[in-house]
């Protein structure tokens, strides 16, 4: 897993390094780009940024899960460590007593007794006490060793992930600058509304599938008009996988906050079998997802500077469909 984390970080940093060079408006210098041209550039730039957002979601999810495992192991180890410490304290207390009374010193033993026998007996007693304590906590020590061996590589992995998270956070300025550029382009093309038309052009959901899927579809529809914010999962702002996570959470199901995890955690269905509530995944790297609401429509959180809205699923390359079990 450590190799995977480092590989993920290198991919993100490499992608980020190229972003600032990719920003710009192309076209003839003598003519302003048309809205259609600007929209195409916004889509192109966003498809460079959104995979990074989803990779960040993945890293945060993995780190959160590992921190929970670390805390669980610590909760198991701490009582065992307390038992070991108590046993050591008892042996130590006897040793201190011997020291305070002068009985632990070979010289003192010889001077006060005239014979090494008394001192030898004291050392034997101390050794017996130590052995008795060790025998009493052998199982504790064995259990603690097993848990320590599990925790050590996890501690190292968490340290690596925290470093990756810190480096990714340091790149946040670059990401935010890219997002601002996209927002500026969108404002230039469409004004400050953030919308190119009706957010809900048809009834939402279009179809009723019943059960939890219908609930998820209804919840997604209720979020229309709320702002896109990357890494957000509601209730007031969303990114794409955050919206699907939130909708299904309200229906009593758990999805993880990363498009590829959601693809992995759902059952593959065909387009002919699509029902309201199913997830629709886009692009070969699965970096975007929407929630199907019937009639060829989905609800999705599209890009920064935009809001949750309905859109035809054929508006982008579809990679697959997923059903929440």
Q: How far is the C-alpha of 321 from the C-alpha of 274, rounded, in Å?
A: 8
E strands in the chain: 227-228, 237-238, 267-268, 279-282, 288-294, 297-300, 309-312, 318-323
- DSSP notation for 183-252: HHHHHHHHTTS--SS-S--S-SSSS---HHHHHHHHHHHHTTTPEE-TT-BSSSEE-HHHHHHHHHHHTT
**Residue from 181, 217, 215, 222 nearest 199 by CA:** 222
Count Cα neighbours of 70 within 13 Å in the Cβ-side half-sphere: 14
User: Using only C-alpha atoms, what is the Rg of the chain?
Assistant: 31
Nearest-10 crossing angle of helices 172-190, 35-100: 160
Spatial neighbors of 174 by CB under 8 A, at least 6 apart, are 16, 19, 20
Catalytic residue annotation? 240, 288, 300
């Amino acid at each position: 897993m450590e190799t995977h984390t480092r590989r993920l970080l290198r991919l993100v940093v490499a992608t980020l390094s190229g972003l600032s060079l990719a920003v710009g408006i192309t076209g003839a210098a003598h003519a302003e780009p048309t809205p259609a041209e600007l929209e195409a550039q916004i889509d192109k730039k966003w498809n460079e940024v959104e995979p990074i957002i989803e990779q960040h979601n993945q890293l945060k999810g993995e780190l959160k899960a590992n921190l929970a495992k670390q805390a669980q192991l610590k909760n198991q180890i701490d009582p065992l460590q307390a038992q070991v410490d108590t046993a050591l304290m008892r042996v130590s207390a006897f040793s201190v007593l011997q020291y305070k009374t002068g009985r632990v010193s070979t010289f003192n033993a010889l001077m006060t007794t005239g014979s090494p026998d008394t001192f030898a007996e004291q050392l034997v007693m101390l050794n017996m006490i130590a052995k008795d304590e060790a025998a009493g906590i052998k199982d504790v020590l064995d259990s603690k060793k097993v848990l320590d061996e599990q925790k050590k590589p996890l501690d190292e992995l968490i340290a690596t992930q925290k470093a990756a998270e810190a480096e990714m956070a340091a790149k946040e300025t670059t990401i935010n600058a890219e997002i601002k550029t996209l927002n500026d382009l969108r404002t230039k093309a469409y004004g400050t509304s953030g919308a190119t038309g009706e957010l809900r052009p048809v009834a939402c959901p279009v179809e009723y599938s019943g059960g939890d899927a219908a609930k998820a579809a209804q919840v997604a529809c209720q979020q229309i008009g709320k702002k896109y914010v990357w890494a957000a999962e509601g209730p007031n702002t969303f990114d794409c996988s955050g919206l699907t996570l939130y909708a299904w959470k309200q229906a009593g199901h758990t999805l993880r906050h990363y498009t590829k995890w959601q693809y992995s955690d759902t059952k593959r269905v065909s387009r002919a079998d699509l029902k309201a509530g199913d997830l629709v995944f886009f692009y070969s790297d699965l970096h975007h997802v929407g929630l199907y609401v019937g009639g060829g429509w989905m609800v999705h959180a599209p890009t920064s500077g935009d809001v949750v809205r309905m859109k035809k699923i054929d508006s982008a390359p579809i990679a697959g469909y997923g059903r929440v079990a």
